[in-house]
C-alpha cells in the first residue's frame, strides 16, 4: 500500500474595517467569496478596528460597529469553527509588529501611497501620523499570520506590494522569517455600481441613500431603491455598451441568480424596466433575508459575540506571538 502525504492547506488572510454596514457591492464583490474560500484555504479573518481610528470616530459608535461587523461576518457564513475570526485590537501583536516594520519602511515608500493622498485630501483637518504609517500596520496584520495569499481589490494592490517588499527586505536583512504573500485574485466577483450613477462604484459613503443597498436594508427599502435605479430611455433589457444602468442591474441579477445575460434577456423579453427592476430587488432581498435574520440573532446576544471574540483573539495571539518572537529575536531584542 502506497504512503500518501497530504499537502498542507494554504493559508489566506483578509481584514475589513468596521466603518459601517457593508453594501451589496461589498458582499457580491468580496465577502461572499470569503465564505467560499473557507473550503479551499485555512482562513484568517479580522475586523480591522485599529485602522478605523486614522479618521475621527465617536467611541460609542465605533464600539457598536465593531460588534456589528463581527456579527455580520458570521451571519454571511464565516464559520468560527472552520476559520479564525478575530478583532484586530484584541491581539496586541499587531501594534507591536507594526512599530518594528515601520522602522524597516522608508519615508518615500509611504509618501507614494495613493490612499494617503486621497484620505489627506478628504480629511485635511486631521492628517495624522497614523494615516501616513498605516500601511506598516497593514503589513503587520498580514505578516503576523504567515499567509500564502491575501485577497485584494484594486485599491489595496499597492499596500500588498509594500507588504511583499517589507517581507523580502526583512528576510534578506536578517534571514528568512516571513512568508511572502501572493495577492489572491477572486475567481468571481461582481463589479457592482451605484444605482444612481452607474459609472461609479457602489459606496456606503454615498450621500444619496438611493445609490447603494446596505446589507441591513429591509425588503421594501431594497425594492424601492431598485425601482428608482437609473436606466435609460430604451426600455429594453439587454447588455450593451452605453447602457450602464441596465448593465449594472443585469450583473447584480446574474450574481444573485447565476443566470447568464442571454438568459436574463430572454426572461424579460417584451417586458419593461419596471418588471425587471422589481425582479432584481426581490432576488436581492431574498438573498439577504437569511443573513439579516442571523445577524439580528447574533446582535441580540452580546455575551455570545464577546465569547467568540475572546476565543478568536486567544487563537490569533498564539499564532501571532510565534511570529513576533521570531522577529524580535532576529532584530536583537532580549525576549
DSSP for 135-153 reads HHHHHHHHHTT--SEEE--
pTM, two decimal places: 0.92
pLDDT in tens, 264-313: 999 999 898 999 999 999 999 999 999 999 999 999 999 999 999 999 99
Tell which phi-psi region holds residue 313, choosing left (phi > 0), alpha (psi between -120 and 50) or beta: alpha
pLDDT in tens, 146-177: 999 998 776 667 778 999 999 999 999 999 99
pLDDT in the model for residue 208: 95
DSSP for 229-259 reads ----SS------TT-HHHHHHHHHHHHHH--
pLDDT in tens, 248-268: 999 999 999 999 999 999 999
pLDDT in tens, 52-105: 998 899 999 999 999 999 999 999 999 999 999 999 999 999 999 999 999 999
pLDDT above 90 covers what percent of the chain? Answer: 79
pLDDT band at 188 (very low <50, low <70, confident <90, very high): low
pLDDT averaged over every residue in the chain: 92
Task: State the fold for domain 11-189+302-331.
Answer: Rossmann fold (3.40.50)
Whole-number Å distance between alpha carbons of 239 and 328: 56
pLDDT in the model for residue 1: 41
> Strand, helix or coil at 84?
strand
109-117 own/partner pairs: CB under 8 Å, 24+ apart: 109/135, 109/162, 109/165, 110/135, 110/136, 113/158, 113/159, 113/162, 114/158, 115/155, 115/158, 115/159
Of 1-10, 25-34, 186-195, the least confident: 1-10
pLDDT in tens, 9-34: 999 999 999 998 999 999 998 999 99
pLDDT in the model for residue 6: 56
Which three cell numbers mark 53?
481610528
CATH code reported for the domain at 209-296: 1.10.240.10
Give me the active site residues, please: 119, 201, 204
Residue bearing the bigger pLDDT, 145 or 114: 145
Extents of the domains making up the chain: 11-189+302-331, 209-296
Whether 11-189+302-331 shares its CATH topology with 209-296 is answered: no
Amino acid at each position: 500500500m502506497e504512503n500518501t502525504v497530504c499537502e498542507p492547506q494554504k493559508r489566506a488572510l483578509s481584514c475589513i474595517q468596521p466603518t459601517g454596514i457593508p453594501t451589496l457591492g461589498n458582499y457580491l464583490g468580496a465577502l461572499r467569496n470569503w465564505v467560499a474560500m473557507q473550503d479551499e484555504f485555512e482562513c484568517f479573518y479580522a475586523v480591522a478596528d485599529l485602522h478605523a481610528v486614522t479618521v475621527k470616530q465617536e467611541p460609542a459608535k465605533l464600539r457598536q460597529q465593531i460588534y456589528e461587523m463581527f456579527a455580520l461576518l458570521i451571519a454571511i457564513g464565516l464559520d468560527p469553527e472552520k476559520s479564525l475570526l478575530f478583532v484586530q485590537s484584541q491581539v496586541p501583536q499587531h501594534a507591536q509588529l507594526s512599530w518594528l516594520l515601520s522602522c524597516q519602511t522608508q519615508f518615500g515608500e509611504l509618501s507614494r501611497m495613493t490612499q494617503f493622498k486621497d484620505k489627506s485630501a478628504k480629511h485635511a483637518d486631521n492628517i495624522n501620523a497614523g494615516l501616513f504609517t498605516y500601511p506598516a500596520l497593514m503589513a503587520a496584520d498580514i505578516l503576523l499570520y504567515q499567509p500564502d495569499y491575501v485577497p485584494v481589490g484594486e485599491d489595496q494592490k499597492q499596500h500588498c506590494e509594500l507588504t511583499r517588499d517589507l517581507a523580502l527586505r526583512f528576510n534578506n536583512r536578517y534571514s528568512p522569517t516571513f512568508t511572502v504573500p501572493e495577492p489572491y485574485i477572486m475567481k468571481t466577483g461582481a463589479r457592482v455600481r451605484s444605482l444612481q450613477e452607474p459609472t461609479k462604484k457602489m459606496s456606503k459613503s454615498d450621500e444619496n441613500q438611493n445609490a447603494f443597498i446596505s446589507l441591513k436594508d429591509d425588503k421594501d427599502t431594497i425594492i424601492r431603491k431598485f425601482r428608482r435605479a437609473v436606466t435609460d430611455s430604451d426600455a429594453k433589457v439587454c447588455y450593451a455598451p452605453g447602457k450602464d444602468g441596465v448593465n449594472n442591474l443585469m450583473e447584480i441579477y446574474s450574481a444573485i441568480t447565476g443566470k447568464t445575460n442571454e438568459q436574463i434577456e430572454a426572461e424579460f423579453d417584451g417586458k419593461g424596466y419596471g418588471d425587471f427592476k422589481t425582479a432584481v430587488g426581490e432576488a436581492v432581498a431574498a438573498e439577504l433575508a437569511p443573513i439579516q435574520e442571523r445577524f439580528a440573532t447574533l446582535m441580540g446576544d452580546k455575551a455570545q459575540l464577546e465569547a467568540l471574540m475572546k476565543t478568536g483573539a486567544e487563537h490569533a495571539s498564539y499564532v501571532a506571538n510565534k511570529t513576533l518572537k521570531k522577529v524580535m529575536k532576529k532584530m536583537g531584542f532580549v525576549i
